[in-house]
Chains A and B, each alone.
Chain A
Amino acid sequence: MTYTLRLGTLSLQLARRNLLVGLGLMLLVLTGGLAALHMGSFPVGAADLWTALRGDMEDITRMILLDHRLPRVLVAVGAGAAFGLSGAIFQSMLRNPMASPDVIGFNAGASCGAVLAILLFGSVRFVLPWALAGGLLTAALVLVLAWDRRRGTGLDPYRLILVGIGASLTLGATSDLLMSMTDEQRAADMAQWLTGTLNARNLTDAALIWGGLLLLTPVLLWLQFPLSRLTMNDDIVQGFGLRLAGLRLVITCIGVLLAALAVSVAGPLPFVAFVAGPVARRLLGTGAPVLAAAALVGALVTLGADTAARLVPVVQLPAGVFTAVIGAPVLMWLLVAQFRKGAL
């Protein structure tokens, strides 16, 4: 069953399942966000939430809500959405359910940059620019090395994956080496950053990620169309009249940009980009690219992981530990799903 929205000459078809799943996910994210605002060592009741939203509130509750919990929730949702989008884009483009921005070496490069910054400056102050520079540089290098001039397709998916894995191998080992060369405090800082954490986020971070997402929204809306063509065979795509080489380059850049946004506010949270796509596709029951649903699933996973991390008493665990714990069952489930399909 489908619904058709018409607006002048534009029309949009919505299947009922997509609509229900989308609304359900949104509702879950919203409930999760409110619950995350409510939970914590300082009790904030449901009634307080409402008054705080209206603006009149005693100072301490207001401070905790607006300066601590709200930015954190906003960043979790935004970064999760960006990771989910990035993963879904790479999975569709490379036609592989196990791809993620990691394949292009972005995370390994960002991690290496961050470790280097902590090693050089002794604190986490300059981590962000170094991490971004490291990630973008690595992505650019991988793109150049993987680019195939002889054939018209530009980026061959397998070639991209293999070159990216090679770059990740070297950069990961370099990070390990740098980490062993420093003192205990810096090593602990590095380990914390490498796991990905949402501790102590402020409204600037939230503005950064949401502003970036808003700017990219029109591009993402357009992207849905070429991306669904790209799931087909190379020859068919070129038969459609699409310029494969240029298209793959543009899509990769958008994917990297989204990953960069997310990493800059949340660190390299593992597995969010990986799980969002497969889960969203399964929820919608389709093999087509599902950007919006993947964004919502990513947001939900990150929010859940961060809230779980906050609820652990005594030690401050980074959210990255929990996204990995969520990643494990999804990996298993992909395995079982492939068994069922008889793909093995």
Chain B
Amino acid sequence: MTAEVTPRALPRHITPHRLTWLAAGLFVLVLSVLLALRMGARPVSWGDIWQSLVAYDPDAPDQFVIWQIRLPRVVGALLCGGSLGVAGTLMQALTRNPLADPGLLGVNAGAALGVVLCTIALGISDPAQFIWAALGGAALASGLVFTLGGNAPSRTGRLILAGAAVSALFYALIRGLLLVSRSSLEVYRVWVLGGFDNVTLDMVSTLLPFLIVGLLLAFVAGFSLNALQLGESTAQGLGVRVGLLQLLTGAAIVILCGTTVAMAGPIAFVGLIVPHLARATAPADIRWLSLYSAVYGALLMGLADILARSALFSGHMQAGVMSAILGGPVLIWLVRSKGVRAL
């Protein structure tokens, strides 16, 4: 099966037409943030939103709601969505496999095991501490999956199966941990849905440095990842140190996904679909693709969170689980419409 992602007649440089897509994405993103700040059980005015952003007054209840409840939630959703979009792009570029996704390839499951081990079994509640467990779990899982599945493009099915096996293993271990105490199950069954209810500004400020490091690594790796799209030996011929590049990209993926899981729980599918959207509109350059993916991912997650919060689901829905439920049909549609060979 061929799974080449980029080699096609797309311009590598930016054009006004493509820039329009990015600008439109950013514009809708800003609109969705404003909508997310405005929407909710407590009605607030545009003036309150403006006031709380410019001159925050903790004694005004409206401003308190915006600054302490709605803003962290929006920021969390945007950061997670953007990070997952970039991580998905990197994964698909690294494996030259258009179905690579942190959820499908078990990276989220590894990070989730780390978080569950720390927060539930050991009772650590400080994100600054359990982030390391999340990163360790994510690194372990991705190491397992990539060695088991091989990263040759001819092995789409094998990589995905390896991801499924590793995910199944980690989720089974998580279930085992949970069975020991019932109170931990109570925490877990809400957390696993992948929502932004519990994101606080403290948590964001603790985890933000990790995301920045991950994005910087992604940016550095982006310079050589383009060459890797032509195949490992060609990339080597072009002077790329393939081993180092794989390590760098892998580290970026692990940091981005692990931090996302620590912040909001395991979120599948965003990393799968966003790079496809980006490829349809962005120049065929990994750095541009990553930028577009970050914007689209943030937008998708922001909208998903708004939808999940809306009265439609009466508080039961979360952005992460909703994207996973919708993700299955989209994946099947991708497979059926493009045909596996063309993927």
* C-alpha spacing A187/B325, complex, angstroms: 20
Q: Is the interface of B mostly helix, strand, loop or mixed?
A: helix
Interface size on A, as a range, is: 35 or more
- Given A98-B148, A99-B161, A187-B189, A194 and B175 contact (CB-CB distance below 8 Å): yes
Q: Give 3 closest A-B pairs by Cβ, nearest first.
A: A170-B328, A324-B172, A173-B324
Contact residue among B99, B164, B165, B175 (Cβ-Cβ distance under 8 Å from A320): B175
Structural contact, B332 and A166, CB atoms closer than 8 A:
yes
Q: Is B144 an interface residue (CB 8 A)?
A: yes
**Residues of B in contact with A (beta carbons under 8 Å apart):** 1, 99, 103-104, 144, 147-148, 150, 156-158, 160-162, 164-166, 168-169, 172-173, 175-176, 178-180, 182, 185-186, 189-190, 192-193, 268-269, 316-317, 321, 324-332, 335-336, 340
Contacts of A102 in B (CB 8 A): 164, 168
Q: Is the interface of A mostly helix, strand, loop or mixed?
A: helix
Structural contact, B169 and A328, CB atoms closer than 8 A:
yes
* C-alpha spacing A103/B335, complex, angstroms: 15
Q: Is A47 an interface residue (CB 8 A)?
A: no
Structural contact, B335 and A163, CB atoms closer than 8 A:
yes
* C-alpha spacing A188/B175, complex, angstroms: 11
B288 CB, min distance to chain A CBs, angstroms: 28
Contact residue among A165, A166, A173, A323 (Cβ-Cβ distance under 8 Å from B321): A173
- Given A156-B340, A320-B172, A98 and B165 contact (CB-CB distance below 8 Å): yes
Nearest residue (CB) in A for B161 is A98
Contacts of A274 in B (CB 8 A): 165, 168
Spot the interface stretch: A175-183, A204-212, A257-265: A175-183
Contacts of B182 in A (CB 8 A): 184, 188
Nearest residue (CB) in A for B157 is A158
Apart from A176-B192, A180-B190, A328-B169, list 13 A-B contacts with CB within 8 A. Answer: A96-B161, A158-B340, A162-B99, A162-B340, A163-B335, A184-B186, A187-B186, A192-B179, A317-B179, A318-B179, A325-B173, A331-B148, A335-B144
- Given A187-B189, A191-B179, A327-B169, A162 and B160 contact (CB-CB distance below 8 Å): yes
Interface hub of B172, B173, B185, B321 (most chain A Cβ within 10 A):
B172
Structural contact, B178 and A191, CB atoms closer than 8 A:
yes
Structural contact, A169 and B269, CB atoms closer than 8 A:
yes
Contacts of B325 in A (CB 8 A): 170, 173-174, 177
Contacts of B99 in A (CB 8 A): 162
A291 CB, min distance to chain B CBs, angstroms: 21
Q: Is A86 an interface residue (CB 8 A)?
A: no
Contacts of B176 in A (CB 8 A): 195, 317, 320-321, 324-325
Structural contact, A338 and B160, CB atoms closer than 8 A:
no
